[in-house]
Amino acid sequence: MNPKVIVYKKVDKKVLDFIGENCEIVYFEGLDSGNYSQFLSELRDADGIMGSGLKIDQDLLEQAPNLKIVCNASVGYDNLDVQALTERGIMATNTPKVLNETVADTVMGLILSTARRMPELDHWVKSGHWKSNLEEKWFGVDVHHKVLGIIGMGGIGSAVAKRAHFGFGMDIIYHNRSINIEAEQAFGATYYSIDDLLAKSDFVCLMTPLTPQTEKMIGKREFARMKDTAIFINSSRGKTVDEEALIDALQTGEILAAGLDVYVDEPIKLDNPLLNMKNVVTLPHIGSATYETRFDMAMLAATNLVVALQGEAPPTLLNSVVK
Ligand SMILES: NC(=O)C1=CN([C@@H]2O[C@H](COP(=O)(O)OP(=O)(O)OC[C@H]3O[C@@H](n4cnc5c(N)ncnc54)[C@H](OP(=O)(O)O)[C@@H]3O)[C@@H](O)[C@H]2O)C=CC1
Ligand SMILES: O=CC(=O)O
């Protein structure tokens, strides 16, 4: 009998067909209050699940006694309690690398649109305000040849550094827990302590995973260390930043502007002050959201699922203690 899997995210038909060659699929295009109890009932005898964003913790695993693999269709896996999965002998996988270039494009878009105030000026033009030569008060700041500080020089951080260095002549400085020799050799990136990076950067770009160590890693103290002309970019997770401190830093002019793809609450609440700030560009967590890349991510997640249920090691296994 084929293993039973639940796919709880909308994916391309080709991905479903690939899984369906080897597994019996229960498919939800998304989970909501209307179908969650049905999802839980299907989970009781499911061998594998694939999707993104769903919090998978002890409580949920209690209801999945047959589960062998959890496949995140995302590179971030802060929604998974990996320790609880490992203790139960359940494999966990994510989708690294296939999205690096696309997320880096989004980050460059945030850098450019924030520095050059593109969304603000787009709105200004479309609402009929362009009646004479542009006044100086609408000018932005340069991106090229500035200093870009990347906190989290991993797969995506390196793809951002490549664009910024070769495309825009930017000086790249970075902070990780460990040295990234490849980035130093490829883009002339220089390692800085976090405090020195914050003080020297014109653009501070946060690209770490969300972990207990990175939660609120950028807060009041860190914003105070940035230049008052600094532009802060966050495309990691909302909770890596103390959002109240960010709002305060923007309101008091401690930093110039921010470009954001991620927030503490997603979707962002309509009364969040960030939504009323002209110097903030807000995207709805679209880092990897292109047709091609979302397809590649879903196909990688599906490959992990199928390969693991055939008894082989999935290509991007997170908890290698489990075979
Ligand atoms: N907005 C969006 O749509 C997307 C957001 N993301 C987010 O981006 C994150 C990064 O993805 P990716 O580049 O693939 O991941 P990688 O694992 O390739 O890179 C993460 C980097 O963060 C560094 N890092 C980890 N912990 C710390 C720490 N405590 N202090 C300083 N640096 C740290 C790591 O270096 P070291 O280990 O040496 O510390 C590494 O260089 C994802 O986890 C996800 O949350 C990803 C894709 C899309
Ligand atoms: O946020 C997206 C991811 O892949 O992680």
ipTM of model: 0.99
Would residue 151 be called left, alpha or beta, if left means φ above 0 and alpha means ψ between -120 and 50 degrees?
A: beta
Atom of ligand 2 nearest to the CA of 297: 4
Q: Which residues contact 91 (CB under 8 A, 6 or more apart)?
A: 68, 69, 70, 85, 308, 314, 317, 318, 319, 322
129 plus 79 within the same structural domain: no
Q: Is the CB of 236 under 6 A from ligand 2?
A: no
Name the residue type at position 218: I
Q: Looking at the structure, do residues 74 and 180 belong to the same domain, yes or no? A: no
Q: Is 64 part of any domain?
A: yes
Distance, CA of 180 to CA of 192 (rounded, Å): 12
Which element (helix H / strand E) includes 49? strand 48-51
User: Quick one: 210 and 139 in the same domain?
Assistant: yes
Q: Please count the structural domains in the chain.
A: 2
CB distance 82 to 319 below 8 Å: yes
Residue 304 in tokens? 């992990």
pTM: 0.98
Distance from C-alpha of 257 to C-alpha of 119, rounded to nearest angstrom: 13
Q: What is the atom index within ligand 2 of the atom nearest the CA of 77?
A: 5
- pLDDT score, position 323: 47
Question: Looking at the domain assignment, is residue 319 inside a domain?
Answer: no
Atom 6 of ligand 1: nearest residue by CA position: 236
- pLDDT tens digit at each of 323 positions of the chain: 899 999 999 999 999 999 999 999 999 999 999 999 999 999 999 999 999 999 999 999 999 999 999 999 999 999 999 999 999 999 999 999 999 999 999 999 999 999 999 999 999 999 999 999 999 999 999 999 999 999 999 999 999 999 999 999 999 999 999 999 999 999 999 999 999 999 999 999 999 999 999 999 999 999 999 999 999 999 999 999 999 999 999 999 999 999 999 999 999 999 999 999 999 999 999 999 999 999 999 999 999 999 999 999 999 999 985 44
Is there a domain that residue 315 lies in?
A: no
The number of the ligand nearest the C-alpha atom of 211 reads 1
* Atom 4 (ligand 2) nearest CA: 74
| Active site members | 237, 266, 285
Residue 205 CA: which ligand is closest?
1
For residue 321, what pLDDT is reported?
Answer: 59
287 touches 99 (CB < 8 A): yes
State the Rg of the chain over Cα: 22
CATH code, domain with 80: 3.40.50.720
Closest protein CA for atom 31 of ligand 1: 176
Cis peptide before 212 (omega within 30 of 0): no
Do 73 and 184 lie in one domain? The reply is no
Torsion angle defined by CA atoms of residues 116, 118, 119 and 125, in that order, rounded to the nearest 10 degrees: 130
- Helix segments in the chain, DSSP class H: 13-20, 36-43, 58-62, 82-87, 100-115, 118-126, 155-162, 168, 181-187, 194-200, 220-225, 243-251, 291-309
Whether residues 140 and 166 fall in one domain: yes
Shared domain for 17 and 148, answered yes or no, is no
Residue 145 and residue 52 share a domain: no
Is residue 72 domain-shared with residue 43, that is, in the same domain? yes
263 and 146 both lie in a single domain: yes
Task: Identify whether 228 is part of a domain.
Answer: yes
* DSSP codes, 85-116: HHHTT-EEE---STTHHHHHHHHHHHHHHHHT
318 within a domain of the structure (yes/no): no
323 part of a folded domain: no
Instruction: List Cα–Cα distances, 34 to 10, 37, 55, 110, in angstroms.
Output: 16, 8, 17, 35
What does the alpha-carbon distance between residue 280 and residue 308 come to, in Å, rounded to a whole number?
Answer: 43
In the DSSP assignment, the letter for residue 164 is: I
293 lines ligand 1 (CB under 6 A): no
Q: What is the atom index within ligand 1 of the atom nearest the CA of 176?
A: 32
Q: Is the CB of 3 under 6 A from ligand 1?
A: no
Q: Please give the number of the atom of ligand 1 that sits closest to the Cα of 99.
A: 47
Give me ligand 1 centre to Cα 152, in Å: 5
Q: How remote is the CA of residue 57 from the centroid of ligand 2, in Å?
A: 18
Residue 11: inside a domain, yes or no? Answer: yes
154 lines ligand 2 (CB under 6 A): no
Residues 225 and 88 in one domain: no
| One domain for residues 50 and 113 | no
Residue 240 CA, ligand 2 centroid: distance in Å:
14
Which pLDDT score is estimated for 320? 81
Is 80 in the same domain as 126?
A: no
Answer whether residue 203 is part of any domain.
Answer: yes
Residues of the domain holding 11 = 4-96+291-309
